[in-house]
Structure 1
Amino acid sequence: MSDVKVERLLINYKTLEEFKHFKEYGNQELSMGEDLEDNIVENDSVSPFYGIYYGNNLIARMSLYRMSKRYDAYFEPPQDYLTLWKLEVLPNYQGNGYGERLVEFAKSYSLPIKTNPRINSHGFWEKMGFQKAHYDMERDLGENPLIWLPEGVNEQTRKD
């Protein structure tokens, strides 16, 4: 699995076409294709989308956004963190470690990570070291976030 490469995806119509092979799980989420379409400017735009190719086929993808500590409702003290969205591996490639590889790539930034797990995916996130977040209830967005902290980062429990 170490030879599997995570790539930043270009913001273009080829990537949009590749996204059509993926299926969304969870009614509350927007389609990554819609996100991509809204961000299409040109190939060299900074993309929040990452993926893994098998040959010429995109088989796994995620969105990864860096968030400023001024928007932090999840970590104490407030700090910059990553939001990992819409992790998905095509059905024929599931169970081969591609989702884990995407998460490990996100962890390589050594920033705290927040994600909103899809239905029936809590076991995967727990295996990857994520835990239920204690967060600012005043800013609750109807999410059930899970968080991961890099080694050496201590979180103080927030008062709910």
Structure 2
Amino acid sequence: MSNKIERLQINFKTLEQFQQFSGYGLQELSMLEDLESNLIDNEFQSPFYGIYLGKALIARMSLYTHKSENEEIIEINKMEVLPYYQKNGYGKELVAFAKSFNKPIKTIPRANSNEFWKKQGFTETDSEFVIWQPK
């Protein structure tokens, strides 16, 4: 399965699509506030990416790039798949997309997702983050 992962536009249509997730997800995974602040700031480069099935946004994540010492690190700030579509590989596809930048990736496992991240090749650190290193 290979779905097209799209950079999501920062607009009111995306805000409406994000609201479908708010009824299902945990508050710690909510990206609604992030999107709203980007709408207000009129961000040019959206940090949000998603998978659509038809016109429905079914999976999403936010990616941020940080400079650390002499390298760039990608942070998967939040990632979520609508419950009906979970366990179908959509989360794995989002992670593979982030890995395609061939830069170290860090994230904080949320909502009992430690096992998922381990399966994606992430390792624990001394902090709350798990990290993936390109080969």
Same fold (TM over 0.5): yes
What residue is the counterpart of 2:106 in the other structure?
A: 114
Question: Is the aligned partner of 1:124 residue 2:87?
Answer: no
Question: Is the aligned partner of 1:58 residue 2:49?
Answer: no
Tell me how far 1:114 sits from its aligned partner: 0.4
After the TM superposition, which residues 69-88 of structure 1 pair with which residues of structure 2 at under 5 Å, given as runs?
69-70=68-69, 78-88=70-80
| Gap change, CA 1:9 and 1:43, over 3 Å in 2 | farther
Q: Calculate the TM-score normalised by the size of structure 1.
A: 0.77
Tell me how far 1:42 sits from its aligned partner: 8.9
Q: Calculate the TM-score normalised by the size of structure 2.
A: 0.91
- Give the Cα separation in 2 of the matches to 1:131 and 1:44: 32
What residue is the counterpart of 2:94 in the other structure?
A: 102
5+ residue gaps, structure 1: 71-77, 136-143, 152-160
- Give the Cα separation in 1 of the matches to 2:63 and 2:113: 18
- Give the Cα separation in 2 of the matches to 1:18 and 1:82: 25
Q: Greater share of helix residues, 1 or 2?
A: 2
SS in 2 for 1:40: helix
Larger Rg over CA atoms: 1
After the TM superposition, which residues 19-38 of structure 1 pair with which residues of structure 2 at under 5 Å, given as runs?
19-22=18-21, 23-25=24-26, 29=28, 31-38=30-37
SS in 1 for 2:20: coil
SS in 2 for 1:103: helix
| Gap change, CA 1:15 and 1:43, over 3 Å in 2 | farther
- Percent identity of equivalent pairs: 55
What residue is the counterpart of 1:139 in the other structure?
A: none
What whole-Å deviation, never above 9, does each CA across 1:53-75 have from its counterpart, x for those lacking one? 000000000000011125xxxxx
The RMSD of aligned alpha carbons is 1.9
5+ residue gaps, structure 2: none
What whole-Å deviation, never above 9, does each CA across 1:20-73 have from its counterpart, x for those lacking one? 111332x5x373111001011698821000000000000000000011125xxx
| Gap change, CA 1:19 and 1:83, over 3 Å in 2 | same
